Amino acid sequence: MRRPLRRTSALNVVLLLYWLCCLAPSPVSSITVTTPPEVHASKGDTVTLSCSFTSTSRPTSRMTVDWSYRPQSGGPPMMFLHFSSRAYPPTEGQFGGRIQWQGTPARGDASISLINATLNDNGTFTCTVRNPPDVHGSTTSHTVLTVTPRVPSIRFSDVAVLLFFILLPSAVITLILIGRMMCPKKERNQSKAHRSPIEVTEGDEYGIPGYTHKEDRAKCRDLYVMDSDEEYYLKDFKKRPPEAEGYADSHC
């Protein structure tokens, strides 16, 4: 009777140990891959798609990295780069000649670069890393790439030339206007100093310097008291042409 009991106890112990081993965390499920959730770029840029991983096992020649792409419009994912001891970038297709390997597996880096990004590159990029015996766990991570049209930029030289051709004529015109506003009196004085020969001033029209209308009216009143001889002389004086006497007609 004792032998069956011993066999049953030994079997129970074995089953218990097996059950504990199954419940214990497996050391091969500790690999973790991380990528940024979103990346934004402009058309024509060189985009870096980062991918880092951590593993309990040291990376060896058995480690592999796969990059795949799924278009924004949907569809099955397409693998375009494979790494196993060395990188094998695509030579044809959508990403032909536009993918560069930037990773360093010994440091947990599996990043790549996308050259000359286009609007057709919008979509989801997936990085998958396997490092046996760590082949389980979070072996993949996704990044959504959004490429937008490039906004035209204005160079400093273009701005400088534009300001030169706009501000310089405006500054010259402003200086001219300010000069004319501040110097009108000087121009009038110069115009008086250089009068035309046909211009006459008050009093010069009679050929007598300083002659005024007041004096002319006074002489006209004196004519009424002149005697006949003087009046005859005055009439004869008026009949003479103004050119000969050097004065214009009297206001009398």
Q: Is 53 exposed, middle or buried (0-12, 13-18, 19+ CB in 10 A)?
A: buried
* Of 102, 66, 64, residue with least CA distance to 85: 64
Answer whether residue 135 is part of any domain: yes
Answer whether residue 235 is part of any domain: no
Alpha-carbon gap, residue 118 to 96, rounded angstroms: 13
Answer whether residue 159 is part of any domain: no
Q: What is the pLDDT of residue 10?
A: 62
Answer whether residue 134 is part of any domain: yes
CA atoms within 13 A on the CB side of 106: 2
Q: What is the pLDDT of residue 178?
A: 84
Instruction: Give the start-end residues of each E strand in 117-216.
Output: 123-130, 137-138, 140-148
Q: What is the pLDDT of residue 140?
A: 94
pTM of the model: 0.53
Please tell me whether residue 127 adopts helix, strand or coil conformation: strand
Please tell me whether residue 23 adopts helix, strand or coil conformation: helix
CA 39 to chain centre: 22
Answer whether residue 241 is part of any domain: no
Q: What is the pLDDT of residue 94?
A: 93
Q: Yes or no: say if 102 and 52 are a contact pair by the CB < 8 Å rule.
A: no
Take residue 8 and report the two structure tokens written for it.
């049953």
Q: What is the pLDDT of residue 26?
A: 46
The tens-digit pLDDT sequence of the chain (252 residues) is: 444 445 556 656 555 555 555 444 444 457 999 999 999 999 999 999 999 999 988 888 899 999 999 999 988 999 999 999 999 999 999 999 999 999 999 999 999 999 999 999 999 999 999 998 887 788 999 999 999 998 776 665 666 777 777 877 888 888 888 877 877 655 555 555 555 555 555 545 444 454 444 444 445 444 444 454 555 555 554 555 555 444 444 444
Answer whether residue 222 is part of any domain: no
Q: What is the pLDDT of residue 197?
A: 53
Dihedral sign, CA of 89, 95, 99, 103? Answer: negative
Answer whether residue 242 is part of any domain: no
Dihedrals phi, psi of 85, to nearest 5 degrees:
70, -30
Domain extent for 81: 36-148
* Of 165, 180, 173, 251, residue with least CA distance to 216: 251
Biggest alpha carbon–alpha carbon distance for the chain: 193
Answer whether residue 199 is part of any domain: no
Query: Total structural domains in the chain?
Result: 1
Pairing of β 38-42 and β 140-148: parallel
CATH number of the domain that 102 lies in?
2.60.40.10
